[in-house]
Amino acid sequence: MDCIKRAMLFEGKAIVDVLETTDIVQKAIDYHHLSDDAAVALGKLLTLGAFISSGFKFKGNKLTLIMQGMGKGGKLVVCADTGAKVRGYMENPNAEGSVEEIVGKNGYLNIIKDFGLKEPYNGLSEIVCGNIDLDFAYYFTKSEQLPSAISLGVKVKDGKCLMSSGVIVQPMPNCTDDIKFILSDAVSQLKDVAALVEERGSQGFLEYYFGHFQMQQLEDVHPVYECSCSDERIMGMLKTLGKKDVYDIIAKEGKIEVSCQFCSKKYSYKEEDISKIFDE
């Protein structure tokens, strides 16, 4: 089962998260028939979606992450709800190459957090190198004043996710520069996180690499790949297409079929279903 292990370090001056998201990445591969390389890129973004949404405090909070760097994979999108319920897709699931090539670096990373207030928080950050780890570290440092150390690792072979994991360290406001330095140095040593977590398990990894930093472990979170699509949502989307376009399709095809971008579930509507949404 996927898991996020979290601990406070140095009497709460920093927080470390060790994430295991192998099942989530496998679901993404199964839904979207991702190439192995594409799965590594989307897997990293899904892992960050799980991380950020695991920190949401209230039910109904929503996260959207969009990376549009003009790379081979096109646009990558991840959405998540409170409690680390994530889902995602990318424009070109067949893309091959390094994560940098798939994401590209000519564009922006967009982070939208919707806490049910009037305006959602909308953060825009440059993609600095396209490897995702550094792009988010840059975002957290510049936009949220949280100089974060991030190392993610996803191993995929022949359509099977062997391991997807990551380690993220973030300082708290009372963190000293010395502690920030020690921790970012510790994370920078962890070159192949997937292999290290595979070797020790996420609990063993956490204890081995961070146990000596006055560690105080918090409760685990279990992230999942979960889609929130429903008739209501799909019909809402059809409504935005406009009455004329929708009725044109029905006139031609006898029905309108939509499949969910995140989970490939198919929705099919006939004229009588559609008349409900436009004639209300």
Asked if 86 interacts with Zn ion (CB under 5 A), we say no
Q: Which residues have CB under 8 Å from 39's CB, separation 6+?
A: 25, 28, 29, 154, 156, 161
Comparison of 14 and 263: residue with beta carbon closer to Zn ion: 263
Tokens of 95: 């893309």
28 interacts with Zn ion by CB under 5 A: no
Query: Per CB under 5 A, does 260 bind Zn ion?
Result: yes
Binding flag, residue 154, Zn ion (CB under 5 A): no
- Size of site (CB under 5 A) for Zn ion: 6
Distance CA 143, CA 50 (A): 19
The angle at the Cα of 202, spanning 98 to 211, to the nearest 5 degrees, equals 115
What is the CA 156 to chain-centroid distance, rounded? 17
Which one of 48-56, 95-103, 192-200, 255-263 is the stretch in contact with Zn ion (CB under 5 A)?
A: 255-263
Least Cα distance to 130 among 78, 73, 79, 80 occurs for 73
Which of 262, 267, 269, 274: binder of Zn ion (CB under 5 A)?
262
Strands (E), 53-100: 62-68, 76-81, 85-90
263 near Zn ion, rule: CB under 5 A: yes
Quick check: 193 binds Zn ion (CB under 5 A)? no
**Window 214-253: contact mask with Zn ion (x via CB under 5 A):** -------------x-x------------------------
Minimum CB distance to Zn ion, residue 87 (Å): 7
Closest distance between Zn ion and the C-beta of residue 130, in Å? 27
